[in-house]
Structure 1
Amino acid sequence: MFRIGEVDFTFNVLYAGLLGSKILRRESSMLTLDSKLRHFDRTLNLQRSLRRFIGVEELDKPTYKVKSGYTRFNQKYNLTIGRPFWDEALREKLDIQEENMKKLAARGVAGYTILDYALADAAYTMARSFGTDINYPNSGFLSWTPLRTPTYRCVGAERFEVTDETKMSRLIKKVAMWFGASIVRITTLDRRWVYSHWYDNRASPHRNPPIVFSDESGYEDYVEPTQLEDGTQVIPKEMRYAISLGFEMDYESIRTAPTAVAFAGTLMYGYRTIIQTVASLAEFIRGLGYNAIPSSNDTALNVPIAIDAGLGEDGRIGGCLISPEYGPRIRLAKVITDLPLATDRPVTFGIHDFCEECRKCSRRCPAQAIPHGPRTVGLEKNDVDAPTISESVGPLRWINNQERCRAYFAVGGTNCGVCISVCPWSRLNSTTRILWKRLTARGGKTLRRILLHLDEVSDGEEINPERWWCNEIYEMVRKRNIPTV
């Protein structure tokens, strides 16, 4: 049987087919919980084999570097939840999005019709209903306190005693995948990545309370995650672990970027699944008698936590992680907890060297918000005039201009996604693509250039939204000939 390195090539071909068709995550619901969890044992083993075949190397420290003096980022300057509510100049740029959506829908532009926008709005339901908001800590399903009486109290038991942290970690990973996660890894929480303050634009007037830990002066008595009357949020010092979760985004829909169909795919396979997964996983941990904070885009920065946990590396696309399995076509979340767990190690598979050569995302970015030059710590402006006040200064990385990015969202009437769509690492895991990843990760500069050229010529066309729908009603929408019901 043909072997490449340590892993049976035939085994990886089988893995590629299963992963590409999503069979790994979507078997019959008739399976019992027990068989489902055994099934995810196999999934974890397959993921480990794929990483080993590609050439993913585990490290003692993550590959990023942070300039001394780095301070925690204030969510007030975030371009989604903070700045649009107090920066009038920025708000003027973003307020045109709704008007542009109306114009595009009225013209019947493919990917921007009422059908497409309705799909995106519907896919967003879980992320913004029942008091939940993906950007707010301690909201709705992202509550810092139990949503119901924890199981251990209901059955009159003491909290579950963890005698083997390694086994507990593997169990948590399988449960998280059963709830909906694609990849799960665990790290010790680095407090640098927790927001210094969160921004509450729902309060009147708006407020910007701090996020503190219980070993800080004046907060020593808090043993559970707590939000005080003034909005201050207290995280117990014992909550030292971050369960980092990755969620695969739908390949077919993201290939329609920058249309509303791509946005719908992001919401459906990203945020909808994120909310149900982190909320359920947090409740499971609470049911065992431990604290848990479910978190989407709130509380802390997702990408550095995911890097620490070994989900992947940072690349040229700002705000995105590149994973060996899915590239940047992945959404991130986390659950912070005091449940004793064994942690994973950060990894490298040559992404920094790859992104230095590739630059496809920066060339194709319609907003020209992704830098063409090298990584910087942000002490001076780069070639896309970043950083702005919405990017933190200190970590060595490719700093994107988030103002340009968000301004293009407003002009285009969607959340774009072109950078994710065109990245070579986003492709589905066919046999040839897995081999391409292996050669890219392990090869030198010349080989990478050859592989990038091959990817460029075999990239294929973007998926037309009309073809994605595959339905006659789309043509009715384009012609504005929708029958009255």
Structure 2
Amino acid sequence: MTKYHSTVGRRDFMKMLGMGAAGAATLGGATKAFADLDEMMDSPYAERNLPWWVKEVDEPTIEIDWDNMEVFPGPHKTLFNPMSWENPQDWMDIRDNNIASTTEKVRNNEPGYSLRDRALADANCWGWGTNTALQPSWTGPDVQANPDWEHPTMFYTPKDFGVPAHKGTPEENSRMLRVAGRVLGAADMGFVKLDERTKKLLYGNLRFENVERGYDPKDGTFVLPDKDLWVVCAVIPQSLWMAQHTDRMSWAAANTAAYSRANIYSNRINVFLRGLGYQFYGGGTAAIGRSVGFGIMSGMGEYGRAGILVSPQWGTNIRTVHLTVTDMPLAETKPIDAGILEFCKTCKKCAEMCPSGAIPTADEPWWGRKTLASQRLQGLVPRC
């Protein structure tokens, strides 16, 4: 018997056509100006707005063996860090070869590698990594006073104003954070509460202590307070047009431009949470844990054959799901079933086109643990 996913009824189908109240307002062409954040929270922009064929489910469509899942040690153990290689010189050699190849193509003025293309790609790197002061720290951007400025702080807290921290129900807070996140640079947003299962998606260099506030002990680890915490999962897509334009330079521009926007968003959302009187932790795009795992648990997409998150709105064209930890109570968003996992079982185009053959071609998801790649993933199933 064929198992169909995410069936939709007549009412939902009519809503998809725009015949609901929100759709009617949109079809009418009237644009309403928002007076404040309360009005934005009352608008459709605070809703998830999932495509009509997507439904929320209690568990992800990909089975996760939480009992056997091991915590990944952290970003310092990825392939991007030469010290995680058995022979760090191999990493150096590959880097040098890439630089030499790119340099030759720039000198030859090859399409997509011209000096102008290279300059565009470099410009879009600004704000990503450690190349600028925009790199977010574990406790957010520097918000301390500049002695040359008239005001005592650059960004204010409730204490500065002499008022209590913002109070709202988890549902109200989620709506508020979703519309604020979209203003600050996120395309979509979901929320996961840290519990016995989801803490396994955090990197191994994060630890919990019985403290009021988390901190960075400057020893390669990061400390979170042992209290109720939520992870804000923000989707940062990249330009599909730029990614498809050439084989390298415009792809790099799309890639790094999205990372830059993620870092800018990170600073902004941290300042927003701070301004409401809540804690925030996270920093850059590799600071918290597995973006694919949290993306699945928050309903931002489903697990795909290539081991990456697949969104019903943006497909695989997601650069990252940016993660921020906060103590603001939030209403969790559930995993989704958009039929993506079932589609991946039969499509296989990514596996057929993969030059190295790294993507499995079996019909069913693969829970491999014998290869070097799967050992690096420390038991996250399957390759999420």
Q: TM-score range by the shorter chain?
A: 0.7 to 0.9
Which residue identity does 1:258 align to in structure 2?
D
TM-score when normalising by structure 1: 0.65
Whether the 8 Å CA contact 1:37–1:175 is kept in 2: the answer is no
Q: Which residue of 2 aligns with 1:95?
A: 96
After TM superposition, the structure 1 = structure 2 runs for residues 351-362 of structure 1, keeping only pairs within 5 Å, are: 351-362=340-351
The alignment-based identity, stated in percent, is: 21
Whether the 8 Å CA contact 2:128–2:263 is kept in 1: the answer is yes
What is the Cα deviation at residue 234 of structure 1?
0.6
Q: Which residue of 2 aligns with 1:79?
A: 79
Matched, 1:68 2:70: no
Matched, 1:366 2:368: no
Which residue identity does 2:125 align to in structure 1?
Y
Listed one character per residue, the Cα deviations across residues 379-418 of structure 1 (whole Å, up to 9, x for unaligned) are 223xxxx5265x314233257xxxxxxxxxxxxxxxxxxx
Change (3 A) 1:240 1:112: same
Whether the 8 Å CA contact 1:116–1:261 is kept in 2: the answer is yes
Structure 1 segments unaligned to the other structure (5+ residues): 19-26, 198-210, 215-219, 400-485
After TM superposition, the structure 1 = structure 2 runs for residues 361-400 of structure 1, keeping only pairs within 5 Å, are: 361-373=350-362, 374-381=364-371, 387=373, 389=375, 391-398=376-383
Distance 1:227 1:145 in 2: 17
Change (3 A) 1:144 1:307: farther
Change (3 A) 1:96 1:57: same
Which residue identity does 1:38 align to in structure 2?
M
Q: Which residue of 2 aligns with 1:213?
A: 208
Distance 1:238 1:139 in 2: 17
Q: Which residue of 2 aligns with 1:469?
A: none
Tell which deviates more after alignment, 145-154 or 285-294. Answer: 145-154
Q: Which residue of 2 aligns with 1:292?
A: 280
1:350 alignment partner, one of 318, 326, 339: 339
Matched, 1:310 2:299: yes
1:328 alignment partner, one of 308, 316, 329: 316
Matched, 1:195 2:203: yes
SS across alignment from 2:342: helix
Whether the 8 Å CA contact 1:307–1:313 is kept in 2: the answer is yes
User: Larger % of helix: which?
Assistant: 1
Distance 1:140 1:80 in 2: 23
What is the Cα deviation at residue 140 of structure 1?
6.9
After TM superposition, the structure 1 = structure 2 runs for residues 154-233 of structure 1, keeping only pairs within 5 Å, are: 154-162=160-168, 164-189=169-194, 190-197=198-205, 211-214=206-209, 220=210, 222-233=211-222
Whether the 8 Å CA contact 2:135–2:263 is kept in 1: the answer is no
What is the Cα deviation at residue 161 of structure 1?
2.4
Q: Which residue of 2 aligns with 1:124?
A: 125
Distance 1:368 1:303 in 2: 21
Whether the 8 Å CA contact 2:185–2:265 is kept in 1: the answer is yes
Listed one character per residue, the Cα deviations across residues 56-75 of structure 1 (whole Å, up to 9, x for unaligned) are 12111223312633221112
Whether the 8 Å CA contact 1:37–1:174 is kept in 2: the answer is no
What is the Cα deviation at residue 273 of structure 1?
1.8
Whether the 8 Å CA contact 2:278–2:327 is kept in 1: the answer is yes
Change (3 A) 1:396 1:119: same
Which residue identity does 1:60 align to in structure 2?
D
SS across alignment from 1:341: coil
Change (3 A) 1:40 1:333: farther
TM-score when normalising by structure 2: 0.81
Which residue identity does 1:193 align to in structure 2?
L
Q: Which residue of 2 aligns with 1:153?
A: 159
Runs (4+) off by over 6 Å: 143-147
After TM superposition, the structure 1 = structure 2 runs for residues 437-448 of structure 1, keeping only pairs within 5 Å, are: none
Whether the 8 Å CA contact 2:34–2:40 is kept in 1: the answer is no
What is the Cα deviation at residue 148 of structure 1?
4.8
After TM superposition, the structure 1 = structure 2 runs for residues 410-425 of structure 1, keeping only pairs within 5 Å, are: none
Which residue identity does 2:278 align to in structure 1?
Y
Say how many residue pairs are matched: 350
CA RMSD of aligned residues (A): 3.2
Q: Which residue of 1 aligns with 2:109?
A: 108
